[in-house]
Structure 1
Amino acid sequence: MPAVLSELPYHPPIAFFSQLLGADALWLEAHEHYRKQTYRNRCLILTAQGQQPLTVPVVDGNRSEKVAISALEIDYRQNWIHRHWRTLQTAYGGSPYFEYYADYLHDIYQQKPALLFDLNLQFLRFYLRCLRLRVPLHLTTTYLPAAADPSLLPPDLLDCRDHLTPKAQTSPEPDRTSGRPYPQTFGKDFVPGLSILDLLFMQGPAAGSFLA
């Protein structure tokens, strides 16, 4: 399978990891401009009220789309870490594996990296280890424009940038896989498109077997 080119999400959706199965490598787009209302600073979790987004605030949000993603600063003037962590505790505190992963995740939060890209990269490396996905990880050295003609990209590179978006959750026919269904904390019907957190908290070390 070709290498995968992707943006770097915050607590990526399960489908992000499904698309890495069999990939030769993962290239992360490090030179794009930040885009609002995407998974770059947002994830979706499941609560008693249904799906809920968790969003990382960024500095100077109104002008953020003119900033390179690898230089975008997190806005720590807002107490967002406390809100995210309390929401995760409320939603998943009773799940089988929340305590199994909680300390590792909390430690990453408490490091408070200045840049969104660095925060997301730390979480991604952690998830790759948890899922036992041995995919070589690389950062792009220059921006690769999205091309309508795939032949304009290197032949061994599959461009998956922005294939996964929070907006796609409202589509009646999502164009991605969320892996195999598994028991979730709330509701009777399986909810696809959630963050990898949902799968890890429910399935623990077996989570990787639900990606396909």
Structure 2
Amino acid sequence: MLFLTELHYNPGILYFQKAFEAQEILLEAHEHYQKQSFRNRCHILTAQGIRPLSIPVVKGNSKTLVTELEIDYSQRWVDIHWRTLQSAYGNAPFFEYYADYLKAIYDSRPALLFQLNMDLFKIFGKFLKLNKPIQLTQTYVTTYEAPVLDWRGELHPKKEPDNLRLMPYRQVFGKQFASNLSILDLLFNLGPEASTYLQNRAAFC
């Protein structure tokens, strides 16, 4: 199976679970930007509950190719996001294990959202030992047939997938387990065990 999806900012747990199921990964590089999507936001768990982190972009609209979308650094979102991650996960078992690698990507400040998301996707792939061939689409194709699993637009911040029922794992905050979070939550809490968790079909029902 070839897993087709758009690039997300700090993608969710189900996103990577599907990636592990695939033989190859195909990333959409010819779509137009969609506002209020996971392309520029993610969900993390804080002491106050689930919180979205959103990257501001320059003139992002439905006519802008996602590969040309510029990040707006005038709003100092990098500092805000990093302080929030430190506050939320500073006491997580594996925060410091991954923090320097992630901070280096944030500090590199790539001009384009697509590049930032690609850099993060690659480092998560290394953390998770996601050894799959990765390709970019060469043109936009509306519909695909098997063996392509087309998951473009399947995950959205305002809609929790019906098939997202995760086996609880230890989290820093809350008495009730929180699902539909960024892969950061899984990595900071489980560390190297995150890869095993994602490949365990019993974790997803």
Q: TM-score scaled by structure 1?
A: 0.91
Aligned to 2:18: 19
1:194 paired residue among 171, 181, 186: 181
After TM superposition, the structure 1 stretch with the greater mean CA deviation from structure 2, 67-76 or 155-164, is: 155-164
Partners of 1:192 and 1:106 in 2: how far apart?
Answer: 25
How far apart are residue 23 of structure 1 and its match? Answer: 0.6
Aligned to 2:70: 73
Structure 1: gaps spanning 5 or more residues: 148-152
What do the CA deviations read for 1:151-199 (whole angstroms, capped 9, x no partner)? xx24221101111111114xxxx32336432011111111000000000
Whether 2:196 is the aligned partner of 1:209: answer yes
Partners of 1:188 and 1:98 in 2: how far apart?
Answer: 20
8 A Cα contact 1:5 1:28, kept in partner = yes
Aligned to 2:136: 139
1:112 paired residue among 109, 114, 124: 109
Q: May I ask how many residue pairs the two structures share in their alignment?
A: 199
Aligned to 1:155: 146
Partners of 2:39 and 2:163 in 1: how far apart?
Answer: 18
Partners of 2:105 and 2:162 in 1: how far apart?
Answer: 32
Partners of 1:140 and 1:175 in 2: how far apart?
Answer: 28
Whether 2:143 is the aligned partner of 1:181: answer no
Aligned to 1:55: 54
8 A Cα contact 1:14 1:179, kept in partner = no
AA paired with 2:59? D
Partners of 1:12 and 1:60 in 2: how far apart?
Answer: 23
Q: Provide runs of 4+ in structure 1 moved above 4 Å.
A: none
Partners of 1:34 and 1:176 in 2: how far apart?
Answer: 26
AA paired with 2:146? P
Whether 2:100 is the aligned partner of 1:103: answer yes
RMSD over equivalenced CA pairs, Å: 1.2
| Paired residue secondary structure (1:16) | helix
What do the CA deviations read for 1:75-131 (whole angstroms, capped 9, x no partner)? 011100000000000000011011111000000011110000000000000111111
| Paired residue secondary structure (1:66) | coil
AA paired with 1:167? K
Aligned to 2:87: 90
Aligned to 1:32: 31
| Paired residue secondary structure (2:135) | strand
Structure 2: gaps spanning 5 or more residues: 201-205
Aligned to 2:159: 168
8 A Cα contact 1:42 1:53, kept in partner = yes
